[in-house]
Chain A
Amino acid sequence: MYNFSSLVIDTLCDQNEGKNVAVAWLYCDFLGAMEEITVNILGALVKQLVRVLGTVPAAIYGAFNKAKRDGRGLRVPDAIRHLRATLDLFERTFICVDALDEFPDKILPELLSSLGAISQELPGVRLFITGRPHVQSVVEKYFPNRAQVIPISPNSGDIREYLTKALREDLNSGAMDCALEAEIMERIEEISGVYAMAISISKAQSDR
């Protein structure tokens, strides 16, 4: 789902240039194994928002200095407090979370309950989440009546575009002629249909 998340992030950034709007995001696999802890993830959102502001809010600067004196790192309740307060400085904020199902199970409840509470409290915050179908119930649990689900299936236009480019860049293009290329493209609709069917069969089997 990388394609969707990164496309949505760029679109939101372009669409809201010059407005009092911030866009922040989380990709699950930018995490190193040692860094997959909730506080780092929430802190990463605060960090992005501070970068958009271009300046460090006084409360964060004060907390940093105190933590430095005490030799303490950021804690989850503080990160949530900073996140909520920083989000509130913008008229609207878009938070994009890529591949939710790939976040470690041990951090997901804390992360989602934090984001769920923030989304309920701050109407200016919008979330874009991608994930496999089985996490839909998790999303609906933490964002009750506040989540809209869009099923994404292989799009034949996308597949055609992808293949056209791949064929164009094929180094062994001598093996390709116009008739073969046309045949491949003609079969795309059929193949994407078969692919969608295979996905539903495999889902039905795993649901059993």
Chain B
Amino acid sequence: MDHLKNLQANTTGAGHQNSFNATKSYNTTYNTTYNSTPTDEQPEILKWLSPLESDARHEDVRNRRQDGLGNWFLQTQEFIKWSDYEDESSKATLFCSGNPGVGKTYLR
């Protein structure tokens, strides 16, 4: 999911000292990212956050997915509205209810 990494959050990108000066306010510390985090420490921090690898699991599933199947769902009004970036009126949660077999069996 390399393209995800291109997304920019509204972070100010201040450096080390500024970030630490701002630690009194929790919100400020989140809005001020720690750009100078040593890169060799990042894997350690990520592992500390969780040992689970969601990206790897998704890669595995998507590689076994058959193209074209389930596309009808993406055309439903419910999904279109829920996934619309600017939509404010849709309910926050979309629950797809189905018995085993309705999706799993489509895998290669």
Interface residues of A, Cβ cutoff 8 Å to B: 1-13, 15-27, 29-31, 35, 39-48, 50-62, 64, 67-68, 73-74, 79, 82, 85-86, 88-92, 94, 119, 123, 125-133, 135-136, 139, 143, 145-155, 157-158, 161-162, 165, 199, 203
- Are A162 and B92 in touch, CB under 8 angstroms? no
Interface residues of B, Cβ cutoff 8 Å to A: 1, 3-11, 13, 19-20, 22-23, 26-27, 29-35, 37, 42, 44-46, 48-58, 61-62, 65-66, 68-74, 76, 78-79, 82-83, 85, 88, 90-107
Number of A-B contacts (CB under 8 A): 291
Known contacts A6-B61, A126-B92: A150-B100 contact under CB 8 Å: no
By a CB distance below 8 angstroms, the chain B residues around A132 are 97-100
Q: How far is the CA of A38 from the CA of B71 in the complex (A)?
A: 32
By a CB distance below 8 angstroms, the chain B residues around A17 are 3, 6-7
Partner of A12, one of B19, B50, B83, B103: B83
User: Can you offer 16 A-B residue contacts whose CB atoms are under 8 A?
Assistant: A3-B66, A3-B70, A5-B103, A7-B73, A9-B62, A10-B62, A12-B83, A39-B50, A51-B5, A57-B11, A85-B30, A86-B30, A126-B82, A126-B90, A133-B99, A143-B92
